[in-house]
Amino acid sequence: MAFSDATRSLFAGTLQEIQDKGLFKEKRFIRSPQGAEIEVEYPEGAATARALNFCANNYLGLSNHPEVVAAAHAGLDARGYGMSSVRFICGTQDIHRELQDRLTEFLGTEATLLFPSCLDANAGVFEAVLGAEDVIIADRLIHASLVDGIRLCPAQYDTFKHMDMKHLRKKLELHADKRTRMIVTDGVFSMDGDLAPLDEIVALGEEFDAMILLDDSHASGFIGRTGRGTHEHFDAIGKIDLITTTLGKALGGASGGCVSGRAELVELCRQKARPYLFSNSLSPVITAASLKVLDLVMSTTERRDKLEANTLRFRQGITAAGLNVREGVTPIVPVMTYNAKLANDMARDMYAEGIYVIGFSFPVVPAGAARIRVQLSAAHEPEHVDRCVAAFAKVGEKYGVIGLDKKGIIEKYGM
Ligand SMILES: *Cc1c(COP(=O)(O)O)cnc(C)c1O
């Protein structure tokens, strides 16, 4: 028997260790389309309950927007369901080209290449573009998929302390002898919701002749005056050499990603990036629906403006209620508990109050920095936001964390 009892108990033991540390991820099921109000089966097997959803990346409320759904139906009828091919063999339709061109226009770049996901874009871009003579200098809190992509690339890898521009400068000085330098950062960091200081990064890039790769997955569609992303917010459109982003968050929420930027770099990805060469094409359904998403996003700022208003309302409300939150401007609002069990317990009680949120702990965030991450959406109405704040006030009261700062919470619950 290949999977012997001894082998099975080895893996069962690993799972038990995850359980014992309180880090086991429970299964959660949703029985409705994605939206502000969802139907949830939780715990597994329980009767369906309605809840307000505050943990989706559905920032613009487009995941189940009627016009997007209609465009998906029309795309299905016009171009079929699947491509059964990678892009370069027979997996590229005219609508893939059209979507790339629209993304180029939206992001203000020179060229764009679609990937099955942004994880795939990040997995492919570094190895396609850089070699052993080059250096990658990345923020220490970049997304896991960037770290994985960097691991696959022979370039030297160095890091700078999170958003620490003095440290980045030092590293750029240190690596002045390399053939090229590439600075890598997220635009909006997914766990803290903080914005990379892209204006300063661009200035350093110019000073030290370093390219910049920006992963704008948590920004594309809603950060910046017209929602183009972090580079718009910092008035740096046209100054970012590579942008990777996802269609799986604000921009419709299905799946798909891209590399967008300097024409030569994007062409190198088309020639060499392994997920482009060896993984299947984005489905025509998603491609057609994504074109509609870009139409909606580029024709009006109504949704990103509503998201901004909801974010402000929540941030003001939750702060006034006395919960411990990280300050910021993005729709990612971490309600800090520091202690992992407290995050899970409070999230469970929030669910009992009809608010669907999740506790995040190590390894998704650093140990001792557990939190409930709240995400606002343009799909929320002001009264949804108020109900979420009220539930936090009630649950926070139950656990005695109202008005406590970091030190106070840690004294009471430990890390
Ligand atoms: C979500 C996310 C990804 C992965 O995007 P997918 O398209 O779902 O693979 C990559 N980078 C960042 C920063 C993300 O937040």
Residue whose CA lies nearest to ligand 1 atom number 12 = 217
Distances (CA, A) of 245 to 42, 48, 59, 121, 176: 31, 34, 14, 8, 29
Residues 6+ apart with CB under 8 A from 58: 34, 35, 249, 250, 253, 377, 379
In a 3-state reduction of DSSP, which class is residue 124? helix
Quote the DSSP letter at residue 257: E
CA 74 centroid distance within chain: 28
Give dist(CA 65, CA 42) in Å, integer: 25
Query: Which long-range contacts (C-beta less than 8 Å, at least 24 apart) are formed by 63-70?
Result: 63/33, 63/34, 63/35, 63/252, 63/253, 63/254, 64/33, 64/34, 64/35, 65/296, 67/292, 67/296, 68/252, 68/289, 68/292, 68/293, 68/296, 69/289, 70/292
Give dist(CA 178, CA 168) in Å, integer: 15
Residue 281 Cβ contacting ligand 1 at under 6 Å: no
Residue 215 Cβ contacting ligand 1 at under 6 Å: yes
Residue 15: HSE in the Cβ half-sphere, 13 Å Cα cutoff: 8
Q: How confident is the model at residue 353 (pLDDT cuts 50, 70, 90)?
A: very high
User: What is the CB neighbour count within 10 angstroms for residue 129?
Assistant: 26
Q: How confident is the model at residue 26 (pLDDT cuts 50, 70, 90)?
A: confident
Write the pLDDT tens digit of every residue in 123-147. 999 999 999 999 999 999 999 999 9
pLDDT score of 20: 87
Residue 51's beta-bridge partner residues?
38
Residue whose CA lies nearest to ligand 1 atom number 14 = 217
| Residue 247 CA, closest ligand 1 atom number | 7
Sheet containing strand 29-30, strands side by side: 29-30, 37-41, 49-53, 355-356
Give dist(CA 107, CA 214) in Å, integer: 12
* Ligand 1 mean position, distance from CA 246 (Å): 6
Check if the beta carbon of residue 340 is closer than 8 Å to that of residue 23. yes
Residue whose CA lies nearest to ligand 1 atom number 6 = 118
Residue 117 Cβ contacting ligand 1 at under 6 Å: yes
Residue whose CA lies nearest to ligand 1 atom number 15 = 217
Residue 112 Cβ contacting ligand 1 at under 6 Å: no
| Residue 216 CA, closest ligand 1 atom number | 13
Residue 245 Cβ contacting ligand 1 at under 6 Å: no
Residue 143 Cβ contacting ligand 1 at under 6 Å: yes
Phi (first) and psi of residue 72, to 5 degrees: -65, -45
Binning the chain into helix, strand and coil, the percentages to the nearest 5 are 45, 15, 40
Give dist(CA 25, CA 34) in Å, integer: 21
Class of residue 218 by CB neighbours under 10 A (exposed 0-12, middle 13-18, buried 19+): buried
Residue 190 Cβ contacting ligand 1 at under 6 Å: yes
* Ligand 1 mean position, distance from CA 410 (Å): 31
* Ligand 1 mean position, distance from CA 217 (Å): 6
CATH number given to 29-58+302-413: 3.90.1150.10
Domain residue extents for the chain: 29-58+302-413, 66-299
Residue 185 Cβ contacting ligand 1 at under 6 Å: no
Check if the beta carbon of residue 326 is closer than 8 Å to that of residue 333. yes
In order, the DSSP letters of 52-71 are: EE-S-S-TTS-TT-HHHHHH
pLDDT score of 24: 81
Residue 119 Cβ contacting ligand 1 at under 6 Å: yes
pLDDT score of 43: 87
Residue 217 Cβ contacting ligand 1 at under 6 Å: yes
Give dist(CA 80, CA 179) in Å, integer: 46
Write the pLDDT tens digit of every residue in 246-304. 999 999 999 999 999 999 999 999 999 999 999 999 999 999 999 999 999 999 999 99
Question: Which residue bears the tokens 């795939």?
Answer: 120
Which of 55, 57, 117, 119 for a ligand 1 pocket mutation test, highest count of atoms within 8 Å of Cβ?
A: 119
Write the pLDDT tens digit of every residue in 30-60. 999 999 999 999 888 999 999 999 999 999 9
Write the pLDDT tens digit of every residue in 90-104. 999 999 999 999 999
* Ligand 1 mean position, distance from CA 311 (Å): 21
Write the pLDDT tens digit of every residue in 140-192. 999 999 999 999 999 999 999 999 999 999 999 999 999 999 999 999 999 99
Residue 257 Cβ contacting ligand 1 at under 6 Å: yes
pLDDT score of 25: 82
Residue 200: HSE in the Cβ half-sphere, 13 Å Cα cutoff: 11
Residues assigned a catalytic role: 190, 218, 249
pLDDT at 225 exceeding the cut of 90:
yes
Check if the beta carbon of residue 125 is closer than 8 Å to that of residue 149. yes
| Residue 215 CA, closest ligand 1 atom number | 13
Which of 246, 255, 260, 375 for a ligand 1 pocket mutation test, highest count of atoms within 8 Å of Cβ?
A: 246
Class of residue 190 by CB neighbours under 10 A (exposed 0-12, middle 13-18, buried 19+): buried
Residue whose CA lies nearest to ligand 1 atom number 1 = 217
List the one residue out of 298, 249, 191 whose CA is nearest residue 34.
249
Answer CATH for 66-299 from 3.40.640.10, 3.40.225.10, 3.40.1410.10, 1.10.3720.10: 3.40.640.10
Phi (first) and psi of residue 320, to 5 degrees: -65, -30
Quote the DSSP letter at residue 358: E
| Residue 190 CA, closest ligand 1 atom number | 15
| Residue 118 CA, closest ligand 1 atom number | 7
